[in-house]
Amino acid sequence: MRAAFVTSAVNPQGYPAPDRPEIAFVGRSNVGKSSLLNAIVRQKIARASKTPGRTQQINFFDVEDREAAFRIADLPGYGFARVPTEVQQTWPSMIEDYLQNRPCLRALLLLVDLRHEAQPADHEAVAWLRSLRRPIDLFLLGTKADRLAKAHQKVALIRLSDALGVPRERTGLASAASGVGLDAIRKTLLEIAQVS
C-alpha cells in the first residue's frame, strides 16, 4: 500500500475531484486518527498533533494498492472542549456538507478510544451520521488497543459496539503503536474500495 497526501480543504471548492472511492475517518480529537492512518500505510503522511483540536480542515490522502486505488479523508475531530468556539461552530456545517454531498464517499470509519466508554460526543456523532439523507456504511474501530491487556481488548470493543449500536462484524481493534488490527483494517479498506 502506498499513500500520498493530496490536499487540505475547508470547503467543497477545495476537495479533490471525486474520481475514486473515498473512505472518511471520523472521531474525537486525539483519538488517534492521524497515527492510525500513518500506521495503516506504513508512512508518515498525516501529522499527529500535540495540540488536539487544531486540524479544522479535511485532509485527503490517495492510497494505491495492487488491487485497488482509493482515497482517505481525515475529518476534523469533534468534541474537544479546548477548540475555540468559533471553530467548533464552523466544523459541523463543513462536515455535514461533506457527508451529505460527497459523491464518491463509500464508508465512514468511526474511531473511539478503546480504553473509555463511548462519550456523549460519540453518541451524538453516530446519531447524526444515521440521520444523513443517504445511508453510508459505518465501521467502528477501537483505538489505542495497546493500552489494554489483550484479554480486555475484545470485551471493550464489544461494549463500544453495543453502546453505539454498530454490528460486531463491522468493528475492529486498532493500535498504531503495536500494530494490532492493522491487517484487518487494510483488508476492510480494500474491500470497501473494490465494491462497485
What does the alpha-carbon distance between residue 38 and residue 142 come to, in Å, rounded to a whole number? 16
CB of 120 to ligand GDP, least distance (A): 18
Interface of this chain with ligand GDP, residues 134 to 193, rule: CB under 6 A: 143-144, 146-147, 175-177
Q: Is 34 in the site for Mg ion (CB under 5 A)?
A: yes
Which x/- pattern over 108-137 shows residues binding Mg ion (rule: CB under 5 A)?
------------------------------
Q: Is 59 in the site for ligand GDP (CB under 6 A)?
A: no
By CB under 6 A, name the one of 6, 52, 121, 163 that touches ligand GDP.
Answer: 52
What does the alpha-carbon distance between residue 107 and residue 98 come to, in Å, rounded to a whole number? 12
The single-letter code of the amino acid at 128 is W
Q: Which is nearer to ligand GDP, 19 or 117 (CB)?
A: 117
* SS3 label, residue 48: coil
Q: How far is CA 94 from CA 97, 99, 107, 128, 159, in A?
A: 5, 9, 18, 14, 31
Selection from ligand GDP, Mg ion, none that 146 binds (CB < 5 to 8 A by kind) is ligand GDP
Beta strands per DSSP E along 87-175:
105-113, 137-143, 171-173
